[in-house]
Structure 1
Amino acid sequence: MALLVLVVLAVAGGATLFLWAGKQVRHVDALADYAGRPAAGKGTNWLLIGSDSRGRLTPEQRRELHVGNDVVQNTDTIMVLHSGEHGPYLVSLPRDSYVSVPGHGRQKVNAAFAEGGPKLLTRTVEQATGLRIDRYAEVSFLGFVQVVDAVGGVRLCPETPLRDTRSGADFRAGCQRMDGTQALAYVRARYADPKGDLGRVKRQRQLLGAVADETLAPAVCLDPFRLRTVLTAALSALTVDDRSGMAALTGMGWSMKEIAGGGGTATTVPVANPGVMAGGAGEVLLWDEQGAKRLFDALRNDDPIPTSGNN
């Protein structure tokens, strides 16, 4: 999901295209001060999310993805991208993480987005991690599909067959090319995965690398017409906080490119128990509190992060 913003990297090669792209960026009020907000740390922290609002999906896409006609506000993907002297680091926060949502008690972290949109989700993540979120970027369901299709699909290599009737995933083991709808079904699958939400976040990072490969390929970057098509799709898929523009997006894109190329580190918040039943919330995921604290303390101080068994 989040690596879709890599397409903005190409605009750095042309001032006219850069200026044009800057006018296409959409903004949302996602960051706010409040009593007890974490102090700013070293480096920059982005909150990257994949929104599963379905309002603009076609009937065919709804059928393929096995989603209804309701217009929901939810998120399947939540990641914190940290860049500074060390890293960059990309930390996945599983959507089933059981945390305190301000004003709503303990719930799954993705409930914050459903209850109060970007502002409440940002505040929830800040309170749960102790990190000040400096930037926010959101990619929509439909936008995700359009960007993958714009680059001509992506090559993904499931290690085992994956079939999930709830997401629409039905893939054999081995490398295969997926269009946007198929790739979205692939990363949304979790009910048929014995690792549940943890398996899904790993597939999200697999897709991250695949989109990077396609977006930065010469066939896209050296073809002005195709490049503009990809840029149009990517920028229409993106919504960022009020203070973020093309310069910030380009910097974030370079960090994501480095991670996809193996130069940074992608991990998942340490988990103590991935399958606990909580009243009113269903099956939730509990963080390893000490491990999570060590991870987020390192990010706040811009130190090398500890290794995690959930990578």
Structure 2
Amino acid sequence: MADRPRGKGGPQEGTPEYQWLYGSQGSGPADDATRAVQRPASGRPSSSAQAPADHTRVMPASPAPTPAPGRRGAGAPPPAGPPPGRSRKPGGRGPRLPRPRIGVFRVVRWVLLLWLVFLVAVPFWAWSKVTKVEADPGGDRPAEQPGTTYLLVGSDSRGDLTEEERERLGTGGDVGQRTDTIMLLHTGDGPNLLMSIPRDSIVPIPGHSTTKINAAYAWGGPELLVQTVEQNTGIRVDHYVEVGFGGFVDMVDAVGGVEICPENAMKDPQAKLDIPAGCQEADGPTALGYARSRKTSADLGDIKRAENQREVVSAVGDEALSPWTFVNPLRYYQLSTATARSFAVSDGSSPLSIGRFGLAMTRVDGENGLTCGIPIRDLAVNWDPERSQQLFDLIIADDTASIPDNLCTPSGLLR
């Protein structure tokens, strides 16, 4: 492009060469001249005066929108708030520190869960320590019968006692193993039945002579004793449970003692026993002496001792399953430990079956169950053939609800 001629001193509006830019100074505007659009006084273009369509206009600026209450516009600084860690109180009382939330229900839930684990784990641990013995005699046994029958035996073995314990409990030396206590516990559709078999009962022992029944244990252990009971009663024994002296004392002490109610004052130096008549609390050694002593009545002797044994055994069972046992962890643990030490059970018995045994022992007195001596005809504890067979038949049929009073008496004698 050829240079346009310049006037002296630079471009001037009146110079013809620049009329295309500044417009003509003549009477009419040039078509391609740039013009400034006149803005009306109101800030809006007049509807009557219209500028040429090809002229450049300056558009009016729109005012910035005002933010709505409670909302910030883009780029606006955030509103001032309370300092970190503080909250503003309503009413103008100033900030306060937040209180930490404690999951109370979560803590309680975990405590209950751990408590349930403890309640389940301790008995299973104790069960692993319980002695298992072979008690199934095999051979010709009574057929399966309704209900469940346990043979409960109190052994007079001193093998688990130290010299000091033998002296304190008055058990004497280790004179072999015999059964101080023999009981049958039957559970089923009717009331629970706890029946004592006097250890001096004269019965035939398989493979041996006719003699006192407690000799069966000395000659052949649990197997021969189970066989002797089954063949003389016709009642099938489902589970065998044996309790020793030392563990029995520990169990009584673990539950805080039991209540005994002797009818007469009892004094037996050999059993370390000296107690007045009437109901009273007994600790472990006293309860053992009360259950073992035969020097309580010149008339009843071993028969009365069997009654005392049922009284103590049922009292221990009642205390063991009281609510206090399950809310006191120390008592619960001590009782489980004492049970593990004192009990021997038949091989094949399950924790559930022995648990049912413990529960049944709390329901063998008063309205909850029956406690009897085996029917006898004299103080020499010869069994009454007719009455004893009637009682055995009702147990075999699991019909304890039909047992009349003349068959179930505390001494076994006919009233």
Whether these two folds match at TM > 0.5 is yes
Match of 1:236 in 2: 341
Match of 2:387 in 1: 291
Aligned partner of 2:150 among 28, 43, 46: 46
Give 1:118 shift. Answer: 0.5
Mapped partners of 1:296, 1:12: distance in 2: 42
Higher strand share: 1
Q: Structure 2: where are the runs of 5+ without partners?
A: 1-115, 411-415
Match of 2:264 in 1: 160
- Cα displacement string for residues 195-227 of structure 1 (whole angstroms, at most 9, x for unaligned residues): 111101111122123223432334322112220
Query: Contact (CA 8 Å) 2:321, 2:359: kept in 1 or not?
Result: no
Q: How does 1:239-254 map to 2 (within 5 A)?
A: 239-254=344-359
Query: Contact (CA 8 Å) 1:74, 1:114: kept in 2 or not?
Result: yes
Match of 1:61 in 2: 165
Mapped partners of 2:397, 2:134: distance in 1: 27
RMSD (Å), alpha carbons: 2.1
Mapped partners of 2:223, 2:147: distance in 1: 21
Distance 1:303 1:60, change over 3 A: same
Higher helix share: 1
Mapped partners of 1:139, 1:185: distance in 2: 15
Aligned partner of 1:75 among 179, 185, 203: 179
- Cα displacement string for residues 51-105 of structure 1 (whole angstroms, at most 9, x for unaligned residues): 1101222333322443332242011110111111112111111111111111111
The amino acid of 1:240's aligned partner reads: V
Q: How does 1:1-311 map to 2 (within 5 A)?
A: 14-35=119-140, 37-193=141-297, 194-260=299-365, 262-275=367-380, 285-304=381-400, 305-307=403-405, 308=407, 310-311=409-410
Mapped partners of 2:404, 2:203: distance in 1: 22
The amino acid of 2:386's aligned partner reads: Q
- Cα displacement string for residues 224-277 of structure 1 (whole angstroms, at most 9, x for unaligned residues): 2220111111122111001112100111122212224631111111011122xx
Mapped partners of 1:88, 1:213: distance in 2: 14
Count residues in correspondence: 292
Query: Contact (CA 8 Å) 2:317, 2:358: kept in 1 or not?
Result: no
Query: Contact (CA 8 Å) 1:82, 1:90: kept in 2 or not?
Result: yes
Q: Structure 1: where are the runs of 5+ without partners?
A: 1-10, 276-284
Match of 2:95 in 1: none
- Cα displacement string for residues 151-174 of structure 1 (whole angstroms, at most 9, x for unaligned residues): 222222212111223433221112
Higher relative contact order (CA 8 A, sep 6+): 1
Mapped partners of 2:151, 2:314: distance in 1: 19
Match of 2:86 in 1: none
Which shows bigger deviation, 45-54 or 215-224?
215-224
Distance 1:102 1:205, change over 3 A: same
Larger Rg: 2
Mapped partners of 1:299, 1:159: distance in 2: 30
Mapped partners of 1:224, 1:124: distance in 2: 41
Percent of residue pairs identical: 43
Distance 1:221 1:51, change over 3 A: same
When the two structures are superposed, what TM-score results if normalisation uses the length of structure 2? Answer: 0.66
